Structure formats: structure tokens, C-alpha cells
């Protein structure tokens, strides 16, 4: 089953996705340090990719998979960048 996002919003600590199957998913911004550090305006400059299966922020160089979020996967690249 391929679940995709139809809407995206933020509060001070969370990213909220509305999914095509009616669920609303909340994800802590701490899972994605680039989003956590971004301004509210930067967070709003996103686009859905793959028919809503992904979310892309060009300015922040961030790409998130909706399937990954459903599996509880956060940013896997941040730690690698910090260690380099």
C-alpha cells in the first residue's frame, strides 16, 4: 500500500501531515535538524514529490519520504554530515 501526504503544516515542535487515508501524522521536528533550525517561512517552502510520497525543501536541501515517516525513520544523513 502506498500512502501519500495531501497537506503539511507545522507548530513550534512538530511537523503534521494529513495522509490520503485520513490519518494525521505528527513528527517531532527534532527528527530533522534542518527543519528544526529553519525559519517558519523556510519550512513552508516545500513541495510534494512523487504524488505526495515525498516532501522536498529546495532551500533547505531536505527530502523526506512519507513511508519513512510512517516507519519512524528520522534524518539519516545529519549524523554523517556532522562526523565528516
Neighbour tally for 32: CB within 10 Å: 21
CATH of the domain at 23: 3.30.2020.40
pLDDT beneath 50, residues of the chain: 78, 80-84
Exposed/middle/buried for residue 65 (C-beta within 10 Å: 0-12, 13-18, 19+): middle
What's the pTM value of the predicted model, to 2 decimals? 0.84
pLDDT, residue 81, reads: 42
At which residue does the C-alpha cell 505528527 appear?
Answer: 26
pLDDT, residue 2, reads: 74
Residues spanned by the domain of 77:
5-83
Alpha carbon distance, N-terminus to C-terminus of the chain:
37
Q: State the total domains in the chain.
A: 1
pLDDT, residue 77, reads: 64
pLDDT, residue 62, reads: 95
Amino acid at each position: 500500500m502506498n500512502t501519500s501526504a495531501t497537506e503539511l503544516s507545522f507548530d513550534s515542535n512538530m511537523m503534521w501531515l494529513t495522509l490520503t487515508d485520513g490519518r494525521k501524522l505528527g513528527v517531532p521536528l527534532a527528527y530533522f535538524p534542518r527543519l528544526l533550525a529553519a525559519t517558519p517561512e523556510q519550512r513552508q517552502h516545500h513541495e510534494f514529490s512523487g504524488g505526495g510520497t515525498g516532501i522536498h525543501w529546495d532551500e533547505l536541501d531536505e527530502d523526506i519520504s512519507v513511508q519513512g515517516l510512517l516507519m519512524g525513520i528520522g534524518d539519516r544523513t545529519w549524523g554523517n554530515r556532522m562526523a565528516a
